[in-house]
Amino acid sequence: MAGERAAIRYAKAVLSLANKDNKAEAVNNDMKLIVETLAKNEDLHNVLQSPVVRSSVKKSIVLSVFSDIKPNTSNLIDTLITNKRISILSNVASKYIQIYNELRGSQVATVTTAVEITADLKEVVLHKVRELTGKKVELKNVIDKDILGGFILRVGDIQYNASISSQLNKLRREFTLN
């Protein structure tokens, strides 16, 4: 990803300042809001990526969309605007969340399913992942109808694919080899 190293540096700097001010959790909530909003709103994402739109316009748009953010987050946005790096805002926010969770000793487990998982099943998965990793785990459900059924569980760098589409592809490969 473009600007990955820069995003990590900005995220670490913001986290360091937020820890000094005892605002790390509040800034983490801001970062989650930024990631979710930019993922859902393609127009906003495109404005931030556009080299045609002036920095002052980008700043006013971002600050109006995220009007309830903490001063640390606002300062990050100002710094990114000044350094002409506002296009990596989403990446910085994602890296902040990742680093914050690592420091807290927690992880985000992503479960990809064809349909929304039930609350009971969510608790079972959370319990099992906590048992396997020994860490606090936050569960994120991603819906992808292409997997047909089953699930794909991703925790950190580990992925377990129990989807029907994966099993069908495995069978297809076995039959084509014979």
CATH number for 4-102: choose from 1.20.58.220, 1.10.520.20, 2.40.40.20, 3.60.40.10. 1.10.520.20
CA distance 56 to 82: 10
- In words, the CATH class of domain 106-177 is alpha beta
> Domain residue spans in the chain?
4-102, 106-177
Q: What is the pTM of this model?
A: 0.69
* pLDDT tens, per residue, the chain with 178 residues: 457 899 999 999 999 999 998 999 999 999 999 999 998 999 999 999 998 999 889 989 998 999 899 999 999 999 999 999 999 999 999 999 989 988 887 777 888 888 888 888 888 888 888 887 777 888 888 888 888 888 888 887 778 888 888 888 888 888 887 6
Torsions phi, psi for 68 (to 5 deg) = -100, 20
Exposure of 170 in the CB half-sphere (CA atoms within 13 A): 7
Paired strand residues for 137: 107
- Please check whether the two domains, 4-102 and 106-177, share a CATH topology: no
